[in-house]
Chains A and B, each alone.
Chain A
Amino acid sequence: MRQVLRLIGSRYGAALVLVLVIAAVIGFGRLLGGARPTAGGYEPGQGPPAGTSTEVTTSPEPDDGDIGTTGSPLPPSTSAGAAPASAVALQFTRAWLHHTGVSATEWHAGLAKYATKALQEKLSGADPAGVPASRTTGDPSIVGQESSYVDVSIPLDAGTLSLRLVVTDGRWLVDGVDWERT
């Protein structure tokens, strides 16, 4: 008995007791708490909610989603005198179609005037020989408009070219090129 007491009094004993106490506290907490960890990530300092379920709503509002007050999106602001999106789309399309009798360098330079840097990079290495059409067969039409971009569709002899234009430095530039064969 005295040996046990002496053990507890020693450094080792004290350490052992502390370990046991910590283990008991954590273990007990987990047994009681039902241990339902959430996906972590709340900001330190803000503190975890005491069991997320108490803080999370389960009813009573009918719809906590969008209430549909959008209206039509505002067109992005271009500088005064900037060409409209459909005109830029048509110029890009003409440069894109102009793929025979030009070098790859010339073809890329022609597109670069109407393309964002991101699109120019994605087109790097593209061969003008791979352009699958040769002429337009109708006018460009705006098929989708969001507050930051427009989608323009241009009918070509072998399919439909769809361009996404964004405003960069006050003017419309083509940022995306999609192609669908007919």
Chain B
Amino acid sequence: MRARGRIRLLVALVVTLSLVCCAGSAVAFFLGGLSNSVNSAAFGAGCGGKTVEVNINLPPVAALGPQQMHNAAIIVSVGQQQNVPPRGWVVAIATALQESALINLGDLGSRNDHDSLGLFQQRPSQGWGTPQQIMDPAYSSKKFYEHLVKVSNWLTRPLTDVAQAVQRSAYPDAYAKHEGRATQIVNALTNGAARSVGSVITSKCAQPGDIAASGWTAPVVAEIVSGFRTPERPTHNGVDLGAARGTPIRAAAGGIVTLVRCQATTASGAWYGCGQDGSPSILGCGWYVEITHADHVMTRYCHQQIQPRVTVGQRVAAGDIIGIVGTTGNSSGPHLHFEVHLNGDRSFAGAVDPVPYMRDKGAPLGVKA
């Protein structure tokens, strides 16, 4: 009996001591592969953290004049003071670009037949404030943010929908086209805040898989196994991301699905189809999707396992699942072939290297280093 008691004591001691001293490192050892930290140097650019100073000479960006830059700085600065996450600054700048081109507009007289005023074209008659208040850019910015943060799911919905929910304009889709330029402006003023995680107030670089304040995210979190137009593959117009078969593919940004189809033929042009795995001797993208985003940017997602789960004409938000990774078409194994095209050009000429493009949007491709 005494021996039994000693054994219990011994077991209890061993268990307790190992929990106290080693549990952390044991867990880290076993799960380390899942929680590796990020080598942010690999992604280059900054991710915010800079408080905007309004009363300095700001370097002009995105073809803005000094007055427009000054107003942009006020909008971002007010957002920072009110602890609005950086995604809100991008929405606010895009909205002001549409409504006033970042010029603090007074009454346009006969040119406007209503009472809209200021950077956001707010109306005294609709309860936005007195004309004097609305003509103060800091006041009008504050009012904009007050309404913005009350919009349901504003952090993840497409920019133009969120802006429209605040502005109630007669042109609900007009804000989308300013998203890229607004991102550029916010990044210039804050050293890259639009590259941070969109939903947090403290500046934190977006990691592969996060949705950045720019509204962009990586389609899959996977290693880049083949680059854009390498010497070996000069006509490889995208990057190959080595995700496993079945990995969900996410829309890289909000937009409208403009193409869904199977493209798989033999070298002689005979139909091969996407009901089976492809191979290097088959031509084409396999099951693939194209999404058209704001600013005439198009993204393409090839070799999907099965018919994509989106349909042409469907609107998607950043991060929405559009299909799963496979190896249909011209492919020797499961991966996602991902392309980015500019200027609405679907051809070879329109393709750009997705790696720097996505990095600049704060949605780096690859895996956590």
Contact = CB atoms under 8 A, between A and B. Distances in A.
A52 B238 contact: no
B236 A38 contact: no
Interface residues of A, number: 69
A64 interface: yes
A26 to B, nearest CB: 6
A49 B242 CA distance: 11
B228 to A, nearest CB: 10
B244 A41 contact: yes
Interface in B277-328: 280, 283-285, 288, 300, 302-303, 312-313, 324
A84 B245 CA distance: 44
Contact of A56 (B242, B248, B302): B242
A16 interface: yes
A147 interface: yes
B243 A57 contact: no
Contacts of A55: 244-245, 333-334
A61 B113 contact: no
Contacts of B161: 122
A180 interface: yes
Contact of B33 (A35, A62, A144): A35
B339 interface: yes
A125 B29 CA distance: 56
A105 interface: no
Contacts of A26: 30
A130 B170 contact: yes
A66 B341 CA distance: 12
A64 B236 contact: yes
A70 B235 CA distance: 18
B236 A100 contact: no
A133 to B, nearest CB: 9
Interface in B333-369: 333-335, 337, 339, 344, 346-347, 367
Contacts of B209: 39
Interface stretch (B42-50, B67-75, B217-225): B217-225
Interface residues of B, number: 82
Interface stretch (B55-63, B129-137, B171-179, B193-201): B171-179
B32 interface: yes
Interface in A25-81: 26-27, 30, 35-43, 46, 48-49, 52-53, 55-70
Given A35-B32, A59-B226, A178 B174 contact: yes
B303 to A, nearest CB: 7
A131 interface: yes
Interface stretch (B3-11, B82-90, B138-146, B184-192): B3-11
A64 B32 contact: no
B170 A128 contact: yes
A142 interface: no
B329 interface: yes
B259 A146 contact: yes
B225 A57 contact: yes
Interface in A104-145: 119, 122-123, 125-132, 144
Given A39-B221, A53-B225, A67 B242 contact: no
B7 A147 contact: no
B77 interface: no
B226 A132 contact: no
A39 B236 contact: no
Nearest to A44: B246
B126 interface: yes
Nearest to B4: A10
A170 to B, nearest CB: 15
Contact of B243 (A38, A67, A158, A179): A38
B246 A41 contact: yes
A53 B242 contact: yes
B150 interface: no
A126 B235 contact: no
A146 B209 CA distance: 30
Contact of A176 (B111, B173, B233, B332): B173
B104 interface: no
Contacts of A179: 98, 169-171, 174
15 contacts: A42-B246, A55-B334, A56-B242, A57-B280, A58-B226, A59-B226, A60-B280, A64-B285, A65-B237, A66-B263, A67-B330, A126-B170, A146-B312, A177-B171, A179-B169
Given A67-B263, A68-B347, A130-B169, 8 more contacts: A12-B7, A36-B33, A38-B244, A46-B245, A52-B244, A52-B334, A58-B240, A70-B346
Interface of A: 3, 6-7, 10, 12, 16, 23, 26-27, 30, 35-43, 46, 48-49, 52-53, 55-70, 96, 99-100, 119, 122-123, 125-132, 144, 146-149, 158, 161, 164, 166, 176-181
